[in-house]
Amino acid sequence: MSKKSVFTAARVANADVTGWLPDHAVVVDGDRIESVIPVDGLPSDVVDQYEVHDLGDVSLIPGLVDAHAHMHCSATLEAYELVTTESLEMLAIRSAMNIRDALLSGVTTLRDIGSKNEIAFQVRNAVRAGHIPGPRMLLAGTPITTTAGHCWFFGTEADTEAEVVQAVRQQKKLGADVIKMMATGGMFTPSANPRTPQYPASTLRAAVVEAERLEMQIVAHTLAAQGVRNCVEAGIHHLIHARWYHPDVTQPLDFDPETVKKLVDNGQWVDPTFGHHLIGVERRAAGLPMKPPHPAVAASPVTEEDNIETAVKMKEMRVRFTTGLDMGMATAPFARSGSNARAFVLNLGYTEWEAIAASTRGTAGAIRVGDDVGTLEPGKIADMVSLEGDPSQDIANMERSVDVIQSGKLVKLGGAALV
Ligand SMILES: [Zn+2]
């Protein structure tokens, strides 16, 4: 019989992810947490009874939950170019490397909301079989989009209500946990206009009804104000980006507080993807190369600050935000999920602890895995990450993982990968 394990650290997140328990130990039995107790309370013969890992002067928090990845994309190559030119085999190899990067950065739960079906489900099978390292994964498989719509080159094209409903069923059959729809065009698809909706609210609603019947959540990408309105009316569970672009490129943002109020009343969540934006802003400031913007936004008077200002208004109106980096797109590397928390603090006015909780407990609840992960409590899966220093003092430490524990097993120790 294998011994139980004990992980001790100078700072361990409390059960609500609102403060530290100093010098505590997480006792793990198999893949689950048995207890979280003061180091002083451990039995004197602890080393005989348990496999003890003293992690030292680190901050031990629940493993990060990131609700937005595209596993076969690259943060350096344009998605359109990459996915239309690389072979499936190459995309699969890229995916395996990407999800390992995410895991070693501290992401132990990853939701992929748009990757080719041939890749996504096989990669998850390989992780589950133990062939390759990776986080536990919730998958959408291909996004559902219109013909020539956003991400058509790795999506399922479905135009009518009947086609969309069939596409939802097809994803369920393949093993999807969640459905992804493209409610508007997007930035890197030449044939899709990010300023206009791709589907009427009635078609999105039909997809929501079908996804709910099949016990899946449904999320939708939206950059246009009318796209947000359609998603809110349709009852989409999570809105991705939720920008407020006007159909006319010369116009400012078309922010609509009435729609935000409905969104909050409906209990819908938003992934604002500002972690990704923060990395882009920092790259630009450092003089690093950037991809050219989509023609539909290049000529726009809307600035980055305008987008942040509307998101802050949404936060003040009590919109609940999930952490999703949009890994693989534009400038969002798989190892940088901690930037979500940084952006929540630097851009959206969160306290450090609110941002840490959003990155763990909050997003775990939003994607309906909160019974298993997201906090360090007895009965939960022992997914944990230790961070350098104290992220409640300096949120940048969310990007400085030292040790990663997945299902009770170390996959990274003292900064060195073990997988
Ligand atoms: Zn995305």
Task: Give me ligand 1 centre to Cα 232, in Å.
Answer: 19
Task: Give me ligand 1 centre to Cα 88, in Å.
Answer: 20
CATH level 2 (architecture), domain 4-62+374-417: Roll (2.30)
Task: Give me ligand 1 centre to Cα 326, in Å.
Answer: 5
Look up the pTM and report it.
Answer: 0.96
The percentage of residues in the chain with a pLDDT greater than 70, rounded to a whole number, is: 99
**Confidence check: pLDDT of 348 > 90:** yes
| Residue 361 in tokens | 């407990």
Task: Give me ligand 1 centre to Cα 418, in Å.
Answer: 29
Task: Give me ligand 1 centre to Cα 401, in Å.
Answer: 24
- What is the spatial distance between Cα 234 and Cα 204, in angstroms, rounded to a whole number? 6
Q: Residues 370-385, buried b or exposed e (16+ Cβ, 10 A)?
A: bebbbbbeeebbbbbb
Task: Give me ligand 1 centre to Cα 180, in Å.
Answer: 10
Which phi and psi (to 5°) does residue 45 adopt? Answer: -100, 35
DSSP E strands in 97-214: the ranges are 107-112, 136-139, 144-145, 156-157, 178-182
Q: Which of 40, 34, 36 is nearest to 13 (CA)?
A: 36
Section 153-166 average pLDDT: 97
Task: Give me ligand 1 centre to Cα 45, in Å.
Answer: 50
Q: Are 178 and 207 in contact (CB under 8 A)?
A: no
Task: Give me ligand 1 centre to Cα 156, in Å.
Answer: 15
Task: Give me ligand 1 centre to Cα 13, in Å.
Answer: 30
Domain ranges in the chain? 4-62+374-417, 64-366
Task: Give me ligand 1 centre to Cα 29, in Å.
Answer: 36
Q: Tell me: the pLDDT tens digits for 303-340?
A: 889 999 999 999 999 999 999 999 999 889 999 999 99
Task: Give me ligand 1 centre to Cα 329, in Å.
Answer: 7
Task: Give me ligand 1 centre to Cα 341, in Å.
Answer: 18
Contacting residues for 112 by C-beta, under 8 A, at least 6 apart = 69, 70, 71, 120, 137, 138, 139, 140
Task: Give me ligand 1 centre to Cα 70, in Å.
Answer: 6
Confidence of residue 2 (pLDDT cuts 50, 70, 90): low
Q: Which of 3, 14, 55 is nearest to 392 (CA)?
A: 14
Q: Which of 29, 66, 40 is nearest to 385 (CA)?
A: 66
Q: Are 120 and 151 in contact (CB under 8 A)?
A: no
CA distance between the termini of the chain: 24
Give residue for tokens 């937005």.
68
- pLDDT value of residue 270: 98
Q: Residues 341-368, buried b or exposed e (16+ Cβ, 10 A)?
A: bbbbbbbbebebbbbbbbbbbbbbbbbe
CATH level 2 (architecture), domain 64-366: Alpha-Beta Barrel (3.20)
